[in-house]
Each structure stands twice: as C-alpha cells, then as structure tokens.
Amino acid sequence: MTAIGIAAVEGGLLFEPQLVLQSGLVAETTRALGLVAENWLFLLFGVAVGMALGTIPGMGGSVTLAVLIPFTLALDGASAFTLLAAAMGSTTFAGSITAILFNVPGTSSNGATIIDGYPMAQQGKAAIAIGASAFSSAGGAVIGIGIFYLLIPFVVDIVLAFGPPQRFWLVLIGLGVLPLVSGKRMLAGLAIGGLGLMFSYVGTSVITGERIFVLNEPFLYDGIGLIPAIVGLFAIAEVVKLATLDRGVLQEGVEIKGNQFDGIREVFKRKSIFIRSAIIGTLVGAIPGVGGTAATFISYGHAVQTSKTPETFGEGNVEGVIASEAANDSKDGGQLFPTLGLGIPGSGSTAVLLGAFIMHGILPGPQMLINHLDLMLVIVFALLASNVLTSIIGLATAQYLVLVTKVPITVIFPIITALSLVAVYITRNNFGDVWLALAFGLLGVLLMYVQITRIPIIIALVLGEIMENNYHITLQLYDTGAAAFFTGWLNVMLVVTLLVTVLFPVLKPYLSKRTSAFS
C-alpha cells in the first residue's frame, strides 16, 4: 500500500486512489463536460424547477428531487442526473431570496441568511444583500466543487477521517459561538440557547429508543422539525410585528438604496471571510451526519467571531450574508464526498439522490469511482453549472425583486402566513407541525417584545441532536469510553479549536490592549 492510499473495503472491493488515477480522470472529465453540454435543456429545466420550488418555504432539495425522480426513470443516466443535480443546486440560492425579502428561508440551510439578510432588506439594502448572496453562492459552489474534483482520488480517505468523536467536537465548536451571537444580553442569549438544546432533545432517541419531552403527544415522537421552528420564530413572528406597525418590510421613511453590483463589491472587499466560509462549508458538508444547515451556522459563527464589529451582526451586516451563502453552496461540493465516495448521504437531498441512483441500477460507493466515474463527473459539473446560472438569474432580477419590500402588510400577511403554514405541513405531512409553528411564532413575538435575540434557539436546535447522537455512538463503538474523544491528532486539534472559540471573546479585549501597547 502506497502513501497516497489507505485502502477501504466495501462489498469485497479493494479501493485505492491509484485506480481512479489510472482510469483516466482527465479523459472522463472531457467526456462528462460533453454529456452536460448535450443535455443543456435538462440543465435549464432543472434550474427552473429548483428555483421555483426553492423559493417556497420547506420545499428544499429533498422535496424537489422527490418530485422530479419519477420523470427521470425513462431517461438515460447522463440526462437524468444532469436534471437532478441542476435542480438540487438551484434550490440553495433560490431559498435565500425569500429569506432576505420576507424573513422566510426557502430551505433550512438558508436559516442563517435571514439573520442579517432581512435586516438589510428593512434598511432598503435588499438588492445589495441579494447581490452579495448570489455572488457568494456562485463562488462558494466553485470552491466547494473544485475542492471535491481535485480530491476525487482521496475521497474515501477524507470521509473516513471523521468519525463520531470528531463530529461531536465539531458540533461543540458550533455551539461555542452562542455567546458571540447573543448580542449585549449574553446571559439571556445563552439561556435561550439552552432552551433550543432542550427543544433539540424532544422526540424519540435514534440511539436509545427513549421518548424525551414528548408530553404524550404522538406528533412529537419524531421531534421538533427545523422548518416549523424557523417559520414560527422568524416568518410568523415578523408578519405579526409588521401587522401591528401597519407597514411593509421596508422601514418607514427608508428608501431603497444600492444595487446588486454593490453586493458583489462587498464580497470582494471581504474576500477573506468569503474564502474561509466556503472552505468551512466544504469541510462540514463532507462529514456524514452533520448536514448543510449546520455548515451555514458554523460558518456564520466564525464570521461573527473573527469580525472587528461583532456587535453589528443581526442588524444587517453583509458579512453574515456572505458567510452563510458561501458555506451554503460550498457544502454541496462537500456533501459529494460521503454521498458518491461511500454511498452515505450527507443531507436529506443527497439521501434522495442516492435513492435515484438505486432506481437507475447504480450502486453508489467506491465502486462508482471506478465503474461510473463519468456519471459522477456529470453530477459535479451539472451542480456547478446550476449554481452559477441560478446566481446570474438572481443578479439579473434583483432590482425587480426588491420592489416587493414596498408592498403593504395587508397584502403580504395572508400570503406569507398561508404559504408558511402549508409548507410546514407538507414537509412532514404532520398537522402537529402547524401548531408547533404557531407556538414558535408566539415565542418569537415575545422574544422580540423583550428584545432578546432568537438566533441561539435555531443554532442549538440544529446542532443539539447531532451532538447527542454522536456522543452516544462514540461510547457504544469505542471500548476506551470517554477517552475516545481525546485519542488521535484530529481530536486534539478540534479540542484546541474549541478552546480558542470559547476563550477568544474573553481574551479579545486583553489581547487588543496588549497589541496597542506594543504599537
């Protein structure tokens, strides 16, 4: 065994990176690009469907793919997966449009975008936010998919490096940003984050089988869904607030300012946070069981932590939009590592994509890198093309989209409320989720009234279940018990990163004083 390949065994097949290199990656790349070009109509149709469904709350990539799969069964592999990859890629940016304009994320991974995107719309900067989102999305996709392409020979090794202990620490790092996003009322924000953790534990544990905090209500057995929580806390709470003020999204006396090209310039001004966020999104997306939503919130927390003006986040800081959307689209490239390399879904949408492979008679995993490398690359390039094309459409239409911020609340209220509640219901076909959304809406109104940020609830709700599951899995898989969390260089590196994340806000004033003293 050479240095570049730790072998992985799946289905009796010994897989090594050399086999991918010997199969002619360059030749297969040329072939895949030709196949995508031949199927440009399917690419455009996938983009159109993805954008249309992506702007509807709850209709994310998994729902979009589920709708399209039956129509692909009569197609050849290249046509089918060009269509599916294009639809999956276009939903991510499309969901940011409603997140910015109405405080309603089209997909759960757009949840971090609303934190600063919607306040920008209220300040008349919706076009700037959409421009920054579009360019960050396209750039993030280029970085994420580019990294995947370059590392195709090592895809199995990379995915296997992150086991349950590493995922546990990674989620704790994400939770470590709660003090940073809590604003001036840190203790209140931490308390709200604790409430979010409690919400994340509601339901039936997939590890122990216990039912926790279900209150004998069957609709809680599957836990509290992220879509009902986000829709309630942000969408419903916001329209209720606007109804009491009797105005549109745009704050009274504020004019629309800037354009989408100003948003692009903002990304170039903040290219460092853009690149770092895209890399974070790719890394987190590559870890099975963490998911794209976690990637966006972890990236957002990193942006807050490293910003010179962290107090402005949540009030319309464009860096929040850039970080969230760069990670949101780069995570698609990251999710290809476990999905195509091991046949392990990296998210709900890639789980549906795996189902499409099986329906087309293709077994995902290491064998796919050898037997269907051209088809894998078709997905890569179709996903990349759809992200870029969707962002171009967003840039071209931004100036028209922002006009809806002037629409009176009497028109917006019934439309947003109806769409939000219907989306909440169809996500899991559970009417109990509608009641959950209304309850979270009431909580959101209360938190706005007492001026406590709602952000920690969502971050904790996203990360809490992942942390709990990986904690139990680690203890069950490793004979060393809790010592497994501290064994190996990767665990040590993650622990150090966690300590830096937690201690940085405390030490930052001291370090600033020391720096100024020596300058």
CA atoms within 13 A on the CB side of 493: 6
User: What confidence category does residue 82 fall into, taking pLDDT thresholds of 50, 70 and 90?
Assistant: very high
pLDDT at residue 5 greater than cutoff 70: no
| Amino acid at site 260 | Q
The pLDDT, as a whole number, for residue 289 is: 64
Q: How far apart are CA 291 and CA 134, in angstroms?
A: 21
The pLDDT, as a whole number, for residue 59 is: 64
pLDDT at residue 17 greater than cutoff 60: no
pLDDT at residue 21 greater than cutoff 60: no
pLDDT over 70 for what percent of the chain?
A: 85
CA max distance for the chain: 71
- Judge whether 468 and 200 are in contact, CB under 8 Å: yes
Q: Residue 358: left (phi > 0), alpha (psi -120 to 50), or beta?
A: alpha
Q: How far apart are CA 232 and CA 424, in angstroms?
A: 9
Helices (H), 246-317: 260-269, 271-285, 292-306
- Judge whether 278 and 143 are in contact, CB under 8 Å: yes
- Judge whether 263 and 318 are in contact, CB under 8 Å: yes
Q: How far apart are CA 59 and CA 77, in angstroms?
A: 25
Quote the pTM value.
0.78
pLDDT at residue 95 greater than cutoff 50: yes
pLDDT at residue 505 greater than cutoff 80: no
- Give me the mean pLDDT over the 45-68 stretch: 79
Q: What is the DSSP string of 121-139?
A: HHTT-HHHHHHHHHHHHHH
- Judge whether 125 and 316 are in contact, CB under 8 Å: yes
Per-residue pLDDT tens over the stretch 312-334: 888 889 999 999 999 988 988 88
Q: How many residues does the chain have?
A: 519
- Give me the mean pLDDT over the 474-482 stretch: 84
The pLDDT, as a whole number, for residue 439 is: 92
Structure token pair of residue 378: 């078709």
Lowest-confidence range among 75-79, 111-115, 248-252, 438-442?
Answer: 248-252
Structure token pair of residue 360: 């087309």
Q: How far apart are CA 136 and CA 22, in angstroms?
A: 35
CA atoms within 13 A on the CB side of 3: 0
Mean pLDDT of all residues belonging to the chain: 80
First to last CA, the chain: 53
Beta bridge partners of 8: 15
